[in-house]
Structure 1
Amino acid sequence: MSNVNFQLHSDSYGRLVLTTENGERHEGVTPVRAFPIAAPDEGLSLVNYEGHEVGWVDRIADLPPAIGRLIEEELASREFVPEIEQITEVSSFACPSTWQLVTNRGQTELVLKGEEDIRRLSQTRLLIADSHGIQFLVRDLTQLDRQSRKLLDRFL
């Protein structure tokens, strides 16, 4: 268990309030992941409404459960990055094209404006932005089925 040098609670408006060990109080604190894709549970900055860091968390798992829960709930309310599990259909291999997907949040579609909206994060990880700015994650290309990889390869 790491040494936590702050207290965190939710006020009556649902905002996070951080109190440092010297009694300094910061209202409306927002957790921000340092590495949201590569290491989502490590390295979180707690920033005030002006964007200044007022706290740091090495690992969520090392926090007292109540504080960890508050941070996780706040992150979940702001983050929406569905993971692509299967690409079932692509309207065209020319852009823009409409993709039919199965994600960890259900079936949906995305409109790919151009190949430049597919970003390779690592050898096996991709981030795909749709025409509405929603980011879709392919956590591991090798875990996609053969047809999905074949369709995706046409755009890479």
Structure 2
Amino acid sequence: MQQVDFKLSRNALGRLVMTTADGVVHDGVVPVRAFPIAAPDDGVGLVSADGRELAWLPRLDTLPAPVREMIEAELASREFMPEIRRIRSVSTYATPSTWEVETDRGLTSLVLRGEEDIRRLAGSTLLISDSHGIHYLVRNLASLDKGSRKILDRFL
């Protein structure tokens, strides 16, 4: 269990407040993942409202439960990245095109502006940005069904 030399709490507005060992209070602290997709539990910084790093946490799972739960709740409230499980259809193979997809959060449609909005990350992971700036994750290209992979191949 990693020892922490600070305390976390929430203010009346629900924002994180960090109190350091020497009694300095930082209001509006924000947790930031260093590797949000490749290693989401490795390397989380606690950043002040003005962007300064206040603490570095090598691993979330080594933190005391109350601190870890508070940080995970804050991260979950800020991060929105649906994971695509299946591509049901696309309006056209030219861009822009409207995609009907099944995600871990339900059915939705997205508009792909151009092929450059599909980025390969580590291994067979893809990040797809739609016209509204929402990022969709394909964690493992090989885990998609054959039809979904065929559609993606036409855009890659």
TM-score by length of 1: 0.97
Alpha-carbon shift at residue 123 of structure 1 (Å) = 2.7
Report whether the alignment pairs 1:4 with 2:4.
yes
Q: Residues 63-82 of structure 1: matches in 2 within 5 Å?
A: 63-82=63-82
Q: Residues 7-86 of structure 1: matches in 2 within 5 Å?
A: 7-86=7-86
Alignment gaps of 5+ in structure 2: none
Aligned equivalents of 1:42, 1:123: Cα separation in 2: 18
Residue type at the aligned position of 2:52: H
Q: How many residues align?
A: 156
Alignment gaps of 5+ in structure 1: none
Question: Any runs of at least 4 consecutive aligned residues in structure 1 with deviations exceeding 6 A, and if so which?
Answer: none
Aligned equivalents of 2:58, 2:143: Cα separation in 1: 29
Residue pair 2:112, 2:129 contacting (<8 A) in 1 also: yes
Q: Matched residue of 2:77: which SS?
A: helix
Alpha-carbon shift at residue 5 of structure 1 (Å) = 1.6
Report whether the alignment pairs 1:120 with 2:120.
yes
Residue type at the aligned position of 2:77: S
Aligned equivalents of 1:4, 1:146: Cα separation in 2: 47
Residue type at the aligned position of 1:12: A
Residue type at the aligned position of 1:81: M
Aligned equivalents of 1:129, 1:139: Cα separation in 2: 14
Aligned equivalents of 1:109, 1:130: Cα separation in 2: 9
TM-score by length of 2: 0.97
Residue type at the aligned position of 1:128: I
Alpha-carbon shift at residue 23 of structure 1 (Å) = 1.6
Residue type at the aligned position of 1:32: V
Q: Matched residue of 2:35: which SS?
A: coil
Aligned equivalents of 1:76, 1:149: Cα separation in 2: 29
Q: Matched residue of 2:155: which SS?
A: coil
Alpha-carbon shift at residue 15 of structure 1 (Å) = 1.1
Q: Matched residue of 1:29: which SS?
A: strand
Alpha-carbon shift at residue 87 of structure 1 (Å) = 0.3
**Percent sequence identity over matched residues?**
58
Aligned equivalents of 1:122, 1:108: Cα separation in 2: 25
Deviations 1:10-40 (A, max 9, x none): 1222111111112221111000111111111
Alpha-carbon shift at residue 93 of structure 1 (Å) = 0.5
